[in-house]
């Protein structure tokens, strides 16, 4: 059913005047509640797991109540992704069913990780603190106060990771650089030689093993010293990031040819600056989120232009930024309001970053118009809360050599133009739309992750039709596990089989130029505010022992089998 016409705002004039606070005054650390809500996805509390840091000691977890009053709309009960999903039991092995012949011979078969989630060694060998060190050590923001202090200890156990990469037969490995390991205060005033040596070794080892590195410069872990200067809310951060990027291109670019400047600016801006559930824990609804997003786009554009002008001629690499997006469809297909809300939902998530980079050099029209008019309605003195791109700076338009997509889930979208959000100063209020889970979609592990493999195919086609015909790398996609460790993870095997099948259809039937697929993640690791209670790895890491032993999951074995099969069947055409 369609929502009724929006009612007029219930705010008094005085309330409206106060509704827009100055960013400086109102930026404050959020209350880092345990079981905090990731409002990017569903507002569902995390299940009451009682565990130590050790994933393998976890007890079974009840399915979270999806009728929770944390949720701004009731959501129907959903299924977990389980064996029930495996409708055809004869479909046992991934390699038996994925049609590998549709993948090009040079397809990138990868897995991804991020520095803070795996490295540990948080204060070793001159590394400076990052916002995630601060967020974790402050306690209260992360599940059972877990931290990334040790994580998978990849800083010291890199060679174990390399064995995992080789066991899978990956052609590509996506990792991120810990900015504060390289530049402890975030600036090139002080370079940490041990940090440089660590990444040199990782890169050299990968190349020696025939694995192509893809390097992310920023994966949520801003140096704390830069946060102390205002972080992503400060204008200066774009030039500081450009210097860091320039340093990395200069130091590693002779060997690294695939670069991602920023990972998921949406998540960093929204969860880190609007909701306060991710570091730096800022809860400043409706204001900082746009400022942080804007400065990230400026930073990315400057770094791309630097590469393009000074490094590309010699190094011949490619640079992009990784954008996360759900696939979205109207909750009620025949309802024009839900249809319009779905377009806004897409514009406020993928379009927010993709439109400036791939389409127009500016934010989507719907964002500009909505934020402008709501800023006026809510009495914001500074005009629109959405910043403008300056003509005196390099444009973000055209600053990507490929499209890097992180896809995890899908949403049904309903209009949210009336009710409480109408007069609320918030990102969701501006968006005027809300995504919910379709009850037929199974949930895997973490509550926001509804498993919708065909959403990926639809999203790939949408990107091709809406944004670009440049090659697309799926830089993250994965399936999580909670509760008791299942090494024989049949559900995840099924998930990878279904997903790769959909990617294959996007390539062969929709003619989308998909160049690669990176499973998230190589290893079980520190899953941000869920700590170690959620596992995404192709390898299990036994966090209960100091050795942090890596044990391959069945899904890892099957992913390896797909890669082997594809590589043996598709050979480069002879000239
Ligand atoms: C991505 N959410 O982040 C990241 O790039 C990874 O670091 C992360 O481990 C992976 O997805 C799995 O979560 C997200 O709350 C973090 O909606 C949180 C959300 C989405 C993506």
CA atoms within 13 A on the CB side of 174: 33
Tell how far CA 15 is from the center of its chain. Answer: 36
Residue 37: the pLDDT is: 23
Q: What angle do CA 276, 120, 108 make, to 5 degrees?
A: 85
Q: Find out whether 561 and 96 touch, Cβ atoms under 8 Å.
A: no
**108-325+380-411+444-569 is classed in which CATH architecture?**
Alpha-Beta Barrel (3.20)
Integer Cα distance of 377 and 371 in angstroms: 10
**3-state DSSP: the chain helix, strand, coil percent, rounded to 5?**
40, 15, 45
Q: How many CB atoms lie within 10 A of CB 382?
A: 11
Q: Is 264 in the pocket of ligand 1 (CB under 6 A)?
A: yes
What's the 190 CA to ligand 1 centre distance in angstroms? 31
Integer Cα distance of 161 and 352 in angstroms: 35
Residue 21: the pLDDT is: 41
Integer Cα distance of 438 and 282 in angstroms: 31
Residue 575: the pLDDT is: 53
Residue 92: exposure state from Cβ atoms within 10 A (0-12, 13-18, ≥19): middle
Residue 80: the pLDDT is: 46
Residue 236: exposure state from Cβ atoms within 10 A (0-12, 13-18, ≥19): exposed
Instruction: Domain ranges for the chain, please list them.
Output: 108-325+380-411+444-569
Distance between the two ends of the chain, CA-based, in angstroms? 59
Q: Is 157 in the pocket of ligand 1 (CB under 6 A)?
A: no
Phi then psi dihedrals of residue 339, to 5 deg: -65, -45
**C-alpha dist (Å) from residue 361 to 140, 290, 294, 352, 369:** 40, 16, 12, 11, 16
Integer Cα distance of 563 and 62 in angstroms: 35
- Catalytic status, residue 476: yes
Residue 169: the pLDDT is: 98
Three-state secondary structure call for residue 476: strand
What's the 406 CA to ligand 1 centre distance in angstroms? 9
Q: Which residues pair with 434 in a beta bridge?
A: 414
Of the residues 408, 410, 482, 526, which should be mutated to test ligand 1's pocket, given the most ligand atoms within 8 Å of the CB? Answer: 408
- Whose C-alpha lies nearest to ligand 1, atom 21? 267
Q: Which two tokens stand for residue 172?
A: 């590509």
What's the 181 CA to ligand 1 centre distance in angstroms? 22
pLDDT tens over the chain, length 575 residues: 333 332 222 223 233 333 334 333 333 332 222 222 222 222 222 332 222 222 222 222 222 222 222 222 223 334 445 434 443 444 454 445 789 999 999 999 999 999 999 999 999 999 999 999 999 999 999 999 999 999 999 999 999 999 999 999 999 999 999 999 999 999 999 999 999 999 999 999 999 999 999 999 999 999 999 999 999 999 999 999 999 999 999 999 999 999 999 999 999 999 999 999 999 999 999 999 999 999 999 999 999 999 999 999 999 999 999 999 999 999 999 999 999 999 999 999 999 999 999 999 999 999 999 999 999 999 998 899 999 999 999 999 999 999 999 999 999 999 998 877 778 999 999 999 999 999 999 999 999 999 999 999 999 999 999 999 999 999 999 999 999 999 999 999 999 999 999 999 999 999 999 999 999 999 999 999 999 999 999 999 999 999 999 999 999 999 999 999 999 987 776 65
Integer Cα distance of 239 and 234 in angstroms: 10
| Nearest-atom index, ligand 1, CA of 478 | 12
Residue 96: the pLDDT is: 59
Three-state secondary structure call for residue 57: helix
Integer Cα distance of 326 and 186 in angstroms: 32
| Nearest-atom index, ligand 1, CA of 449 | 17
Contacts of 473 (CB under 8 A, 6+ apart): 108, 214, 258, 320, 402, 403, 404, 405, 514, 515, 516, 517, 518
pTM of the model: 0.87
Place of tokens 């390099």: 394
- Whose C-alpha lies nearest to ligand 1, atom 16? 267
Place of tokens 């389980």: 82
pLDDT digits (tens, 9 = 90+) for 455-502: 999 999 999 999 999 999 999 999 999 999 999 999 999 999 999 999
Question: Of 119, 476, 502, 558, which is the active-site residue?
Answer: 476
For residue 36, the 8-state DSSP code is -
Place of tokens 């500081």: 240
Angle between helices 158-168 and 554-569 (to 10 degrees): 50
């Amino acid at each position: 059913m369609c929502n009724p016409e929006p009612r007029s705002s219930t705010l008094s004039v005085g309330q409206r005047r106060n509704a827009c606070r100055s960013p400086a005054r109102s930026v404050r650390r959020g209350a880092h509640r345990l079981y905090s809500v990731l409002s990017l996805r569903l507002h569902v509390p995390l299940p009451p797991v009682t565990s130590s840091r050790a994933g393998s000691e976890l007890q079974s977890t009840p399915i979270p109540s999806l009728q929770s009053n944390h949720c701004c709309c009731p959501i129907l009960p959903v299924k977990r992704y389980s064996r029930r999903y495996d409708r055809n039991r004869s479909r046992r092995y991934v390699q038996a069913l994925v049609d590998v012949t549709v993948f090009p011979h040079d397809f990138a078969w990868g897995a991804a990780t991020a520095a803070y989630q795996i490295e540990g060694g948080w204060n070793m060998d001159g590394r400076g603190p990052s916002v995630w060190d601060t967020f974790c050590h402050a306690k209260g923001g992360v599940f059972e106060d877990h931290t990334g202090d040790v994580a998978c200890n990849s800083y010291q156990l890199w060679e174990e990771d390399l064995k995992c990469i080789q066991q899978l037969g990956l052609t590509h490995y996506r990792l991120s650089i810990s900015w504060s390991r390289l530049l402890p205060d975030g600036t090139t005033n002080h370079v940490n030689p041990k940090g440089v040596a660590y990444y040199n070794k990782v890169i050299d080892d990968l190349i020696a093993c025939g694995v192509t590195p893809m390097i992310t410069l920023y994966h949520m872990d801003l140096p704390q010293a830069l946060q102390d200067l205002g972080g992503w809310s400060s204008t200066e951060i774009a030039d500081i990031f450009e210097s860091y990027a320039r340093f990395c291109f200069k130091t590693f670019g002779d060997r690294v040819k695939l670069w991602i400047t920023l990972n998921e600016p949406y998540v960093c801006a929204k969860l880190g600056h609007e909701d306060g559930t991710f570091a730096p824990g800022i809860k400043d609804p409706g204001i900082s989120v746009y400022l942080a997003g804007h400065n990230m786009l400026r930073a990315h554009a400057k770094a791309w232009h630097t590469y393009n002008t000074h490094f590309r001629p010699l190094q011949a690499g490619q640079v992009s930024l990784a954008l996360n997006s759900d696939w979205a469809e109207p909750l009620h297909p025949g309802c024009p309001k839900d249809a319009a809300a779905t377009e806004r939902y897409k514009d406020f998530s993928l379009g927010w970053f993709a439109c400036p980079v791939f389409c127009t050099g500016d934010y989507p029209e719907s964002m500009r118009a909505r934020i402008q008019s709501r800023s006026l309605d809510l009495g914001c003195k500074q005009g629109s809360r959405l910043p403008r791109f300056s003509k005196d700076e390099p444009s973000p338009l055209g600053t990507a050599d490929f499209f890097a997509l992180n896809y995890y889930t899908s949403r049904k979208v309903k209009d949210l133009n009336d009710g409480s959000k109408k007069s609320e100063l918030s990102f969701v209020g501006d968006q005027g739309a809300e995504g919910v889970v379709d009850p037929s979609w199974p949930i895997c592990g973490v509550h926001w992750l509804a498993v919708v493999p065909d959403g990926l195919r639809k999203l790939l086609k949408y990107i091709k039709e809406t944004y670009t015909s440049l090659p697309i790398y799926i830089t993250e996609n994965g399936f999580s596990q909670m509760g008791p460790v299942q090494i024989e993870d049949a559900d995840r095997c099924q998930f990878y089989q279904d997903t790769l099948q959909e990617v294959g259809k996007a390539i062969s039937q929709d003619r989308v130029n998909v160049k690669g697929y990176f499973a998230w993640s190589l290893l079980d690791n520190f899953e941000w505010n869920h700590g170690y209670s959620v596992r995404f790895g192709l390898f299990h890491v036994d966090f209960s022992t100091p050795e942090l032993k890596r044990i391959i999951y069945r899904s890892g074995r099957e992913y390896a089998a797909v890669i082997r099969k594809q590589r043996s069947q598709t050979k480069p055409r002879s000239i």
